[in-house]
Amino acid sequence: MEKKRNISMAVIRRLPKYYRYLNELMKNDVDRISSKELSEKIGFTASQIRQDLNCFGDFGQQGYGYNVKDLYREISSILGLDEQYNTVLIGAGNIGQAIANYNFDKFGLTLKAIFDVNPKLIGIKIRDVEIQDIDNLEQFLKDNKVDIGVICVTKSSAQKICDTLVANGVKGIWNFAPVDLQADEEVKIENVHLSESLLTLTYLLNGRS
């Protein structure tokens, strides 16, 4: 892993969108695309596209545009998709089960274990992974190298689970609990706050300013 230059989160958050559009272009057998054509599809300006991609390297060619397959591979690598991520999921309620069923293998994640407190859920399998008692979590983390922990527990349990994960070497947290988790800076936390997304929608629909 190379040391990252100081690239803004705004740029980083646009990268997965480039990745998604380039994937679509490849599927449609498009070999090359200009920043102007890409702009019409993706909705960013051509100059923003050039600027964003220039943060990571010199990919385009004047008068030719971007080679779709090459740029896709580059962005894939930039996004860390050359790596494999051992993953555990904690909290097999509605959201947890949906995420456990979500096909994130294509992004290099392998679901190694699922944990819950609910005795009714323990022993049930989701995609061949058995739900275990949460009491097994710590030992599992000591016995297995885990890269990403997906937290789908309640707000009140999330920080404790996060602490256990981090204390046992987990460096990435995908957090679905409606709380801002605290951890060392080297731990990367990405939140999916459904209620915040929904409140943005109600604001846009009916809010006042």
Residue 24 Cβ vs a second copy, minimum distance, rounded to whole Å: 9
Residue listed under structure tokens 């706050």: 193
Which residue, 83 or 135, has its beta carbon nearer to a second copy?
83
Which residue, 135 or 207, has its beta carbon nearer to a second copy?
207
Cβ atoms < 10 Å from Cβ of 30: 15
3-state secondary structure of 148: strand
- Distance, CA of 138 to CA of 185 (rounded, Å): 22
Residue 135 Cβ vs a second copy, minimum distance, rounded to whole Å: 25
Kindly tell me the number of DSSP H helices and DSSP E strands found in the chain: 8, 9
Which residue, 66 or 174, has its beta carbon nearer to a second copy?
174
The pair of structure tokens assigned to 175 is 């957090």
Residue 189 Cβ vs a second copy, minimum distance, rounded to whole Å: 8
Q: Which residue type is seen at 131?
A: I
**CA distances, 163 to each of 132, 133, 147, 158 (Å):** 19, 18, 14, 9
Which residue, 84 or 136, has its beta carbon nearer to a second copy?
84
State the residues that interact with a second copy by CB under 8 A.
1-2, 4-5, 7, 12-13, 15-17, 19-20, 43, 55-56, 77-81, 83, 85, 94-95, 97-99, 101-102, 104, 107-109, 147-148, 171-174, 178, 180, 188, 190-209
Which residues in 50-76 are b (16+ Cβ under 10 Å) and which e?
bebbeeeeeebeeeebbbbeebbebbb
Which residue, 134 or 181, has its beta carbon nearer to a second copy?
181
Residue 184 Cβ vs a second copy, minimum distance, rounded to whole Å: 14
Binding residues: 91-96
- Distance, CA of 39 to CA of 24 (rounded, Å): 14
Binding residues for NAD(+): 91-96
Residue 69 Cβ vs a second copy, minimum distance, rounded to whole Å: 19
